[in-house]
């Protein structure tokens, strides 16, 4: 009789413990008996946040304003809030903007083989046009960190901004929540100066040429008194060379140039 009573009491106690455990799990924000789900609890951090380096845990926000050459830390958070479930092949990925802009939206994704994808974004603004560049070798993984990443992050591959970073299977509950962080650098876009137009070289001035009228005059048999024949020839050479000459020349019947001066 005592054994039967003890057995009933034990079963009742166990049932109460199980009921309390499920109720407590629901109270603290973990679900039971379902497929894994990421970051659905009211106490979860956003999927992605940003902060200027150096950054403390409380410095991470959904957006910030940066200047050229600033280094910005990007923090990703994951939490499978379904107790007794396992998210298979959990991965995280961030798409960095590639265009020149004053507002850069960093888009993050979190998923597993048996869990729906979760997305989020953070914004980095600058006063001048800039680009965002991933800092090589900066990715670290903080597994089983609950809600506070420690300083012993695991250095991970640089695939977080390419195909994504696989952090393996993630069990459901707070103690398996964790973080992945990396850094980006803000590069200012320098506007190239407009090239100055080359000055045109001074063009050589063309000699001024005046038209010289040559008329044929019949009946002239002698040259007027204009000087020696050598002077006439020199004058004609000057005309042909493009020099300015005034006056008229007459061609005699013997094809001799004479001046009308």
The first and second tokens of residue 19, run together, are 């009921």
Q: Which residues contact 224 (CB under 8 A, 6 or more apart)?
A: 258, 259
Beta bridge partners of 184: 72, 134
Summary mean pLDDT of the chain: 77
Q: Which residues contact 122 (CB under 8 A, 6 or more apart)?
A: 46, 48, 49, 50, 61, 62, 63, 74, 105, 106, 108
The verdict on pTM exceeding 0.75 is no
In which band, very low, low, confident or very high, does the pLDDT at 145 lie, cut at 50, 70 and 90? confident
pLDDT tens digits along 58-97: 899 999 999 999 999 999 999 999 999 999 999 999 999 9
Whether the predicted pLDDT of 256 surpasses 80: no
Query: Which has the higher per-residue pLDDT, 249 or 83?
Result: 83
Q: What is the pLDDT of residue 147?
A: 75
Distance (Å, whole) CA 65 – CA 56: 17
């Amino acid at each position: 009789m005592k054994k039967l009573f003890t057995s009933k009491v034990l079963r009742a106690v166990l049932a109460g413990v199980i009921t309390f455990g499920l109720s407590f799990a629901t109270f603290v924000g973990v679900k039971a008996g379902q497929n894994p789900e990421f970051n659905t609890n009211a106490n979860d951090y956003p999927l992605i946040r940003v902060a200027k380096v150096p950054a403390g845990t409380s410095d991470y926000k959904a957006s910030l304003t940066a200047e050229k050459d600033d280094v910005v830390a990007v923090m990703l958070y994951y939490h499978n809030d379904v107790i007794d479930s396992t998210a298979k092949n959990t991965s995280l990925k961030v798409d960095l903007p590639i265009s020149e802009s004053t507002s850069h939206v960093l888009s993050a994704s979190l998923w597993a083989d048996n869990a729906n994808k979760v997305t989020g974004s953070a914004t980095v603004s600058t006063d001048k046009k800039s680009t965002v560049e991933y800092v090589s070798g900066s990715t670290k993984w903080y597994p089983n960190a609950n809600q506070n990443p420690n300083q012993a992050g695991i250095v991970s591959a640089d695939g977080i901004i390419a195909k994504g970073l696989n952090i393996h299977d993630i069990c459901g509950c707070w103690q398996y929540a964790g973080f992945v962080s990396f850094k980006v650098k803000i590069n200012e876009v320098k506007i190239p100066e407009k090239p100055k137009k080359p000055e045109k070289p001074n063009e050589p001035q063309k000699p001024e040429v005046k038209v010289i009228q040559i008329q044929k005059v019949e009946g002239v048999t002698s040259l007027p008194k204009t000087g020696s024949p050598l002077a006439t020839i020199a004058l004609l050479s000057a005309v042909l060379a493009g020099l300015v000459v005034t006056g008229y020349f007459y061609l005699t019947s013997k094809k001799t140039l004479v001046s009308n001066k």
